[in-house]
Each structure stands twice: as C-alpha cells, then as structure tokens.
Amino acid sequence: MARTIRCECGYVARGDSDEDVITTIRGHMRTDHPALLETVEREDLLGWIQME
Ligand SMILES: [Zn+2]
C-alpha cells in the first residue's frame, strides 16, 4: 500500500514505505520550506502519513 504525506502547500509526497515517503517529503521541505525542516521531527512526519 502506498504512503502519502500532504504538505501544507499542497505538494503530495508518495512512497512505498514510511522511510520512502519521509525521505521524499524531507527533500521537498529542504527545497521549499527550509525553516520548517528544522522544526518538524521525524515523529511529526510519521503522524502525517496516510495510507492510500
Ligand atoms: Zn510544501
């Protein structure tokens, strides 16, 4: 089952595993929301994951 995390800006990260989708959303945040990247913990990201 695919995992997705929807960013507040509307971007949707997709992955086949928790690690996958966290890596993808972190890459997006590094580019688009560098300030957010520093404040969001891995635990927060895990809480944002949705199954599709
Ligand atoms: Zn975003």
CA distances from residue 39 to 17, 18, 24, 34 in whole angstroms, order as listed: 23, 19, 17, 9
Task: Tell me the CA–centroid distance for residue 15 and ligand 1, in Å.
Answer: 16
Q: What is the phi/psi pair of residue 5, to 5°?
A: -130, 125
Q: Give the residue, 30 or 1, on which the prediction is more confident.
A: 30
Residue range 7-50, pLDDT digits in tens: 999 999 999 999 999 999 999 999 999 999 999 999 999 999 99
Note down the domain range covering 46.
Answer: 3-51
How many domains does one find in the chain? 1
pLDDT at 16: 97
Does the pLDDT of residue 1 top 90, yes or no?
no
Task: Tell me the CA–centroid distance for residue 21 and ligand 1, in Å.
Answer: 14
Task: Tell me the CA–centroid distance for residue 1 and ligand 1, in Å.
Answer: 23
Task: Tell me the CA–centroid distance for residue 33 and ligand 1, in Å.
Answer: 6
Q: Are 21 and 36 in contact (CB under 8 A)?
A: no
Q: Are 13 and 33 in contact (CB under 8 A)?
A: no
